[in-house]
Chain A
Amino acid sequence: MATAEEVAKAAERRDVRDRWLLSAPALLVIFLAATGPLLIVLVYSFLTPGAYGDVKWQFSPEAWLSVFMERDIFDDTLSLAGAHVTIFWRSIKLAVVTTLATLALGFPTAYFMATRSEKTRDLWLFLITIPFWTNLLIRTFAVLQIIRNEGIINTILLKLGIVSAPVQILYTDTAILIGMAYVYLPLMVLPVYASMEKLDFRLVEAGYDLYATRFKVLRKIIFPLVKPGVIAGSILVFIPALGAYVTPSVLGGGKNMMLSNLIELQFGQGRNWPLGSALSITVMIIVMVALLAYVRNAGKSGVRHG
């Protein structure tokens, strides 16, 4: 006869098996149409660039070397790849600022939506997504119309006499930030809303009964409860923002490269596919490590209940 322990073990094994089955379709699709083909990229990063794009099947560590080091084209000295570092740093900065900006705007908005009556919540959810049913390019161009020198903002400022000449917003870092916050807002609002919608306000009430201030309630009760949503939102904004280039180049003028421009250059006019591959694997490793560390860390300090 099986002991209780054995039964429990078997149940656990069954549970793990079921969980694998349940996640199989997602894993399969991702493996076939995303991760698997990336193995090709991994292989490519160790090959020699073909003369006109693509690769020659000949081993070369050159691509990986040039991710981190650069050989001066004129005096042949090796040094740290300064240009790559500058570009990486620019993209990381932009992604961090964008995440913070969307959180500052998105958290209150999600809170507002989640505190509407149950019947109208879905309506608010649709209201917030409708602007995003037009694609990214169109939205970015629409933002451009607003901030350009002859745009709405400047026209109003001029009419009101607040400024005497149009303020140059377009092609500045401010323009990029406005555009990025606009474009990525739903990626923050929706996950935060999804975990806020089930917020148990009895807990909030209990907080007030204990004479907590509104800010304290927000910080000590509401925020920890919706933390999974905030984590999801931050990931969904940060990572795509790191790879963004349409919005920065349309609103920022395209004078400075973003990470994706650098990689795209290698697959396009630069015709150095191995370097492009090596650069993107570098990005992937950095992001993956950061993500796992972030989730693990955030998970630990998060409140568990239920």
Chain B
Amino acid sequence: MNWKTTTAAMGLALLATTSLARADGELNIYNWGNYTSPDVIKKFEAKYNVKVTITDYDSNDTALAKVRQGGTGFDIAVPSQTYVPIWIKEGLVQETDPGKMENFKNVAPEWANPDFDPGRKYSVPWALGTVGVVVNTDAYKGPADSWGIIFNTPDELKGKTNVVPEMNDVIFAAIKYVGGQQCTDDKTVLKKVRDTLVAAKPNWIAMEYNTIEKMGAGDFKATSDWNGSALRQRLANPAIHYFYPKEGYGLWSDNVVVLKEAKNVENAKLFQNFIMDPENAAGLSAFHRYANAITGSDKFMPADMKDAPEVVIPEAAKAQGEFQKMCAPEIQDIYTKIWTELQK
């Protein structure tokens, strides 16, 4: 092959890749990957004649860093509740006042006025979830409703247990396990946390995110995980169960906000209102597999989610759930040091 044909080939490849049409109304959504139901988006596009573009992120910190720098072209983002106050404080979001929107009446009362956004001036609930323990009950039959599965791994699960490497979640769990409070500055508790983590690590096979596959294929027999992921694992293998640790487990929610630099504010507001509709909220849940905060959405939910123990928190476990908070920077610094120590 000589240089002419190579150039021609490259040129052709280029031509083949330049296309894409544009619509009049637009909406640019910045969301976690694989989290946005294509069906609900299609419905929104059809209803309002708007072209929706979805761009992915993979962590709250990346999303925050990018939006803070600005110039991204996004209209909407979906930060977790721990981050929402930062977004508000740093002036990254617009006061769209979802509390006054038409569909707001559907938001369940316990979600209508959360601490992270009093009066719902900025955000609309997208998904709700928990962080707990997943165990393959074929491999381990004992009691599993404890962080002990992770931090004091039973013999049957040694070398078969995974930990999802989400620093704040893992340290939250370890603090609960040793009997402390989240974001504590009590050095004796934090020291216990570090020692517990370091002692537990040799029993873990891995620290990775890809749990749905690996639990399904049997590479892992237990893992710390999010509830929606646990649901998918159980549907693939009925022996896999999700447990709410009795020491206390984390609750989280992701929330739709409209960015200050948004160009399509009206469409963004329409979208906020749109997803508070019960049928649409159920549509989102059916895709991302997490619960939502919209009353009346149950009747549109897929059958396998309606009474799923992963989605509907059992009465007995409700009391131990606790909203994860953003810790003070000094505490976060200690978390990072413990984490570095753990993974060095």
Given contacts A261-B343, A265-B336, contact A255 B204 (CB under 8 A): yes
Q: Are A54 and B65 in contact (CB under 8 A)?
A: yes
Binding site for B on A (CB under 8 A): 49, 51-54, 70, 73-74, 82-83, 86-87, 122, 148-150, 170-171, 249-250, 253-257, 261-262, 265-272
Q: B187 contacts A267, CB within 8 Å? A: no
Q: Is the CB of A73 within 8 A of B340?
A: no
Decide: A268 and B62 in contact? CB cutoff 8 A. yes
Q: Do B340 and A257 touch across chains, with their CB atoms under 8 A apart?
A: yes
Cβ of B334 and Cβ of A49 under 8 Å apart? no
Shortest beta-carbon distance from A199 to chain B in Å: 20
**Is there contact, CB below 8 Å, between A265 and B68?**
no
Do A269 and B61 touch (CB < 8 A)?
A: yes
Q: Is B191 an interface residue (CB 8 A)?
A: yes
Which bracket fits the contact residues of B?
35 or more
The reply to whether the CB of B178 lies closer than 8 angstroms to some CB of chain A is no
B68 partner residues in chain A, CB cutoff 8 A: 53-54
- A130: min CB distance to chain B, Å: 14
Q: Is the beta-carbon distance between A253 and B343 smaller than 8 angstroms? A: no
Question: Do residues A257 and B61 form an inter-chain contact, with CB atoms below 8 A?
Answer: no
A residues within 8 A CB of B332?
270-271
Q: How many pairs, one residue from A and one from B, have CB atoms within 8 Å of each other in the complex?
A: 91
The 5 closest A-B pairs by CB, nearest first: A253-B206, A270-B336, A83-B344, A268-B61, A257-B343
Residues 54-106 of B contacting A (Cβ, < 8 Å):
59, 61-62, 64-65, 68, 86, 90
Q: Is the CB of B329 within 8 A of A254?
A: no
Contact across chains for B208 and A249 when beta carbons are under 8 A apart: yes
Cα A88 to Cα B329 in complex, Å, equals 26
Could you write out 23 A-B pairs with CB less than 8 Å apart? Answer: A54-B65, A70-B337, A74-B187, A82-B344, A83-B340, A122-B1, A150-B217, A253-B206, A254-B206, A255-B201, A255-B204, A255-B206, A257-B343, A261-B343, A265-B167, A265-B340, A266-B336, A267-B65, A269-B61, A270-B332, A270-B339, A271-B61, A271-B336
Interface string of B177-194 (1 = CB under 8 A from A): 000000000010011001
B83 → A minimal CB distance (Å): 8
Report A-chain residues with C-beta under 8 Å of the C-beta of B165. 254
Chain B, residue nearest A262 (CB): B340
Q: Which B residues touch A257, using CB under 8 A?
A: 340, 343-344
Q: How far is the CA of A149 from the CA of B166 in the complex (A)?
A: 26
Of residues 115 through 146 on chain B, the ones whose CB sits less than 8 Å from some CB of chain A are: none
B170: min CB distance to chain A, Å: 10
Task: Please give the distance in Å from A135's CB to the nearest CB on chain B.
Answer: 15
Query: Could you say which of A53, A70, A73, A266 contacts B64, with CB atoms under 8 Å apart?
Result: A53
Measured CB to CB, the nearest residue on chain B to A50 is B329
Identify which of residues 318-344 in chain B touch chain A, using a CB-to-CB cut-off of 8 Å. 326, 329, 332-341, 343-344
In angstroms, Cα B333 to Cα A271, docked, is 8
Q: With A255-B207, A268-B59, A272-B336 as known contacts, state yes or no: A51 contacts B167, CB within 8 Å.
A: no
What residues of A have a CB within 8 angstroms of the CB of B191 in the complex? 74
